[in-house]
Chains A and B, each alone.
Chain A
Amino acid sequence: MSELKMKILELLKEDARRTAELIATMLDVTAAEVKQAIAEMEQDHVIVKYATVANWSKVDDEKVTALIEVQITPERGRGFEGIAERIYLYPEVKSVYLMSGAYDLLVEVEGKNLKEVASFVSNRLSPIDAVLSTKTFFILKKYKQDGIIFEEHEVDQRLPISP
């Protein structure tokens, strides 16, 4: 990927609401070039979506997130793909990773409460034929996610005027 696209991506990653004009000024290129690059990245699915990083713990109806280690028997010919797909299509599944090490898939599941997540694991995940075992870990607090520190406030401790 071009260096320009890389830089645009970094600036959008920091703040997806930045306009093409602002980015163009920051990178010393034209707004048209920025728009073109963004369009291409959207087309190529480099930019998949513009989303908001929310700190859900500050929202009243708090959500419960669990990470589940899943051991599976791979399918002949398709390996892990088919089962991964069966799992990631559930809307309560937020992410699925194929892992090296002691288990195969790491599945992130989000629910309204503990019961909901537990019932997903016992009624949906575990009964899948290829699933050998699951281990569920509930997330108690998020400190940092996707490089963003949750509790970090932008307090400027500098004197308003200095040499």
Chain B
Amino acid sequence: MIKDEERSMNATVRRASMADYLAPGARSMKPSGIRRFFDLAAGRKDIITLGVGEPDFVTPWHVREACVYALEMGKTQYTSNAGMPELREEIGNYLYNQFDVAYDPAQEILVTVGGSEAIDLALRALITPGDEILVPEPCYISYSPITSLSGGVPVGIETFAEDHFKLKAESLKAAITPRSKVLIVCYPSNPTGGIMTYEDWLPIAKVIEENDLIVISDEIYAELTYGTKHVSLASMPGMKDRTILVSGFSKAFAMTGWRMGYACAHPELISAMLKIHQYTIMCAPIMGQVAALEALRNGKDEKDRMVEAYNQRRRLIVHGFREIGLECHEPQGAFYAFPSIKSTGLSSEQFSTRLLNEANVAAVPGDVFGMGGEGHLRCSYATSVNQLTEAIERIGRFVDKLKAE
């Protein structure tokens, strides 16, 4: 055993501090706002949390069981880099049947470690340092940081509650410069629950074409829509070759921990992404692929059951917020409500922190999701009806207390 003094005498760090070793991108990256709030909420007892961005269901048993069985049969190897051929085949069929987009499983589909990896691969494959990447906000927290990490410059486009957080052609146009290259869209949206219809997409598609943009379309919540069917941007006229469709199994099939996702795009884009994927990851884990295959083949009933449950809770939470007197646009997808707390005069950060401390309810402050998020709260309704009703009651009492101050 080396004593501490000896250890420091032996140390050969020549730079002033460890941070000096870090790449500029890693050094300047801020910890996520969600993480910040997570630390605040962690360790508290008896909190009701509306802060969770994942299903409250456990992966359906038949999916887990298929994986267990495969393990028993000794399925523990690498698969082909792009993913098991039969899984890619099934993804192709699924997208065609559900969302009207046809991809060739052999050349246009890549199985990834979560939708997360697919987004990262797409950005790494596309960005030349200095390129501007357009991101409608409020949006999923990862887009801007991983854009920066690849050397791109994230450019936010604000969307508004009164437009149901839809991307508007005028705002998109206004944000475009000669350096704009990629647009990242995510509908149904985390954190707003906003969706885009065929009519909403039409003018957007036109701007995309006119300005020769490539789109990363994060459709991970595609199955979770209420009353309307999801319209994939890739299914819009002229859009397929300009779109990298990113999706996965985390949300619709309650499979967050399996880390299974995929990307679909033009063969040249997929082959570039595949190269990065094969050198960094090799392939997605076979256990996850086996489970994903089972989910696609036999998961429809369970998925429908979960969607129905989310829908019921969605109505409950939206109704609840409005009763309390908080404005809340009607989310039509994903499992988040994004009520406004502007009427209380508090900032998102102040409101969330006090709500946590004084009412024991955790919800994520809207400002962490970028422009337009301030004054809002992201509340996940992927939680039981009892918890939701209790949360609404607590928030109601808290808001009353604020009024009395």
CB contact under 8 A between A162 and B313, given known A25-B319, A26-B385, A154-B384: no
> Complex: how many Å from CA A11 to CA B385?
10
**Beta-carbon contacts under 8 Å, A73-95 to B:** none
- B386 closest partner in A (C-beta): A15
B300 to chain A, nearest CB (A): 18
SS of A interface (majority): loop
Contact of A147 with B by CB under 8 A: no
Task: List residues of chain A with CB within 8 A of the CB of B312.
Answer: 11, 26-27
CB contact under 8 A between A22 and B38, given known A160-B47, A160-B52, A163-B140: no
Q: Which one, A22, A27, A28, contacts B389 given CB within 8 A?
A: A22
B320 to chain A, nearest CB (A): 8
Indicate with 1 or 0, residue by residue over A17-35, a CB within 8 angstroms of chain B CB atoms: 0100010011110000000
Task: List residues of chain A with CB within 8 A of the CB of B315.
Answer: 25-28
Task: List residues of chain A with CB within 8 A of the CB of B41.
Answer: 160-161
Task: List residues of chain B with CB within 8 A of the CB of A11.
Answer: 312
CB contact under 8 A between A160 and B362, given known A22-B316, A25-B315: yes
- A14 closest partner in B (C-beta): B385
Contact of B150 with A by CB under 8 A: no
Indicate with 1 or 0, residue by residue over B211-252, a CB within 8 angstroms of chain A CB atoms: 000000000000000000000000000000000000000000
> Complex: how many Å from CA A151 to CA B52?
25
Q: Which one, B47, B52, B313, B385, contacts A15 given CB within 8 A?
A: B385
What number of B residues sit within 8 Å (CB to CB) of A? 30
Q: Which one, A25, A27, A156, A162, contacts B53 given CB within 8 A?
A: A162
Most chain B beta carbons < 10 A, residue from A22, A28, A161, A163? A161
- A154 closest partner in B (C-beta): B384
In the complex, the answer to whether A158 meets B385 with C-beta atoms within 8 Å is no
> Complex: how many Å from CA A27 to CA B362?
26
> Complex: how many Å from CA A27 to CA B385?
13
A44 to chain B, nearest CB (A): 24
Contact of B174 with A by CB under 8 A: no
CB contact under 8 A between A158 and B54, given known A22-B389, A163-B141: yes
Task: List residues of chain A with CB within 8 A of the CB of B32.
Answer: 163
Q: List 26 A-B contacts (CB under 8 A).
A: A11-B312, A15-B386, A22-B385, A25-B316, A26-B312, A27-B312, A27-B315, A28-B315, A154-B384, A156-B56, A158-B52, A159-B38, A159-B52, A160-B42, A160-B44, A161-B37, A161-B41, A161-B49, A161-B51, A161-B52, A161-B362, A161-B364, A162-B51, A162-B52, A162-B54, A163-B32
Give chain A's interface residues, CB within 8 Å of chain B: 11, 15, 18, 22, 25-28, 154, 156, 158-163
- What 6 A-B pairs have minimum CB-CB distances, sorted nearest first? A26-B312, A161-B51, A161-B38, A160-B41, A160-B49, A162-B53
Known contacts A11-B312, A25-B315, A26-B385; 18 additional CB pairs below 8 A are A18-B385, A22-B389, A25-B319, A26-B316, A27-B315, A28-B315, A158-B49, A158-B56, A160-B38, A160-B44, A160-B49, A160-B52, A160-B362, A161-B34, A161-B49, A162-B34, A162-B38, A163-B140
